[in-house]
């Protein structure tokens, strides 16, 4: 089975929860992390197939919503999960959802389980009936 590529472009403050959520998929995906959009754009231009991009809505105090729209226009098969911060105007979030430039939007704060659920959906993986041990809190 060919591993799917996931590109993560985030502010450093949320890289840890994202990487924790992706531990569950380490045998199924290759993950590359970026802290700005420029190297991400270069990596996407290299033609890595069937990838998911997890993109922070604001990087280096700049909105990435137009960047997400450009990615989707150039490579319509790429699925984008946008992590929206409190700084992202609600109108921008609604607009990007309506334009179908993203496959999903998560608003901060989010849980590891929410990220995991999106990865199952966006990559087309079958979700196991039981959560991994590191996601279990014991709270029912």
SS3 61: coil
Q: Which CATH number belongs to the domain containing residue 103 in this structure?
A: 3.40.50.2300
Residue 134 covered by a domain = no
Residue 38 CA, chain-centre distance (Å), reads: 17
Q: Which pLDDT tens digit goes with each residue over 46-97? A: 765 668 999 998 887 788 889 999 999 988 989 999 999 877 888 988 999 9
Residue 135 covered by a domain = no
The confidence band for 12, taking pLDDT boundaries of 50, 70 and 90, is confident
**Rg of the chain in Å (alpha carbons):** 15
Domain count across the chain: 1
Which region holds residue 68: left if phi is over 0, alpha if psi is between -120 and 50, else beta?
A: alpha
**For position 62, what pLDDT does the model report?**
82
Residue 133 covered by a domain = no
Residue 136 covered by a domain = no
Give the range of the structural domain holding residue 55, as residue numbers without chain letter. 4-127
């Amino acid at each position: 089975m060919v591993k799917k590529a996931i590109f993560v472009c985030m502010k450093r403050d949320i890289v840890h929860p994202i990487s924790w959520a992706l531990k569950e998929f380490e045998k199924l995906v290759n993950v590359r992390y970026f802290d700005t959009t420029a190297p991400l754009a270069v990596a996407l231009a290299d033609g890595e197939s069937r990838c998911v991009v997890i993109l922070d809505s604001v990087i280096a105090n700049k909105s990435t919503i137009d960047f997400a729209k450009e990615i989707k226009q150039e490579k319509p098969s790429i699925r984008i999960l946008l992590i929206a911060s409190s700084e992202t105007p609600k109108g921008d979030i609604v607009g990007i959802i309506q334009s179908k430039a993203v496959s999903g939007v998560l608003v901060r704060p989010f849980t590891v389980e929410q990220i995991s659920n999106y990865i199952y959906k966006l990559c087309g993986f079958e979700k196991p009936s039981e959560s991994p041990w590191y996601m279990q809190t014991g709270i029912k």
